[in-house]
Chain A
Amino acid sequence: DARVTQTPRHKVTEMGQEVTMRCQPILGHNTVFWYRQTMMQGLELLAYFRNRAPLDDSGMPKDRFSAEMPDATLATLKIQPSEPRDSAVYFCATSDSRTGELFFGEGSRLTVL
């Protein structure tokens, strides 16, 4: 059963700490997206990669967020330093770009105190 795997599922941390979220794409999917979901803003695109190259990170606060894809099986989203306003659910989604259908992971729920 092919699926997107995200870790951790839940993270509680204190303001100022570094947070790293990880995503394992579906095998064969060459486009990886990071979305953030909050009650107020809904689903917002932070960044995405195609064939491991960053295509768009305009939705991401550059001073504290960074996204990388060190290899085809791993995408990471890092926040340093974290702030309470970063509290949200972070979703990784992947697609094979032919159909455009995105397949989402279960999300990483982040709480910054």
Chain B
Amino acid sequence: EDQVTQSPEALRLQEGESSSLNCSYTVSGLRGLFWYRQDPGKGPEFLFTLYSAGEEKEKERLKATLTKKESFLHITAPKPEDSATYLCAVRSGSDYKLSFGAGTTVTVRA
């Protein structure tokens, strides 16, 4: 069974203070690692998909990287509007479903 572990559970940052979120995974045949952002009272919003070790993707202040065992979401010079819960998920084998981690809640103070 796929396992996804995210750390830390919560992260409090000062505006402009860069940091990284971790997503460790155990799957049989990774077919994609996904990052989502979720705001309170909303559904998860798609950010990135990574398919192979060494791959990187960027969007504004966010950059996602992937190794064979984990993925990192780097937040560079965060702003208060980056405050949200960030979810990591994996797709494996011949399956279509995504298995999600518990998420990291990021709070950025002005």
Q: Is there contact, CB below 8 Å, between B46 and A102?
A: yes
State which of A4, A33, A106 has its C-beta within 8 Å of the C-beta of B97. A33
Q: Determine if A42 and B43 form an interchain contact, defined as CB atoms under 8 angstroms apart.
A: no
Q: Is the interface of B mostly helix, strand, loop or mixed?
A: strand
Contact between A42 and B99, CB atoms less than 8 A apart:
no
Closest to A55 in B: B96
A-B contact count, CB below 8 Å? 53
- Taking residues whose C-beta sits less than 8 angstroms from the other chain, chain A's interface range is 20 to 34
Q: By DSSP majority rule, is chain A's interface helix, strand, loop, or mixed?
A: strand
Which B residues contact A (CB, under 8 angstroms)? 31-32, 34, 36, 41-46, 49, 87, 89, 91, 96-103
Interface residue ranges, A against B (CB under 8 Å): 4, 31, 33, 35, 42-43, 45, 48, 50, 55-56, 91, 93, 95, 97, 99-107
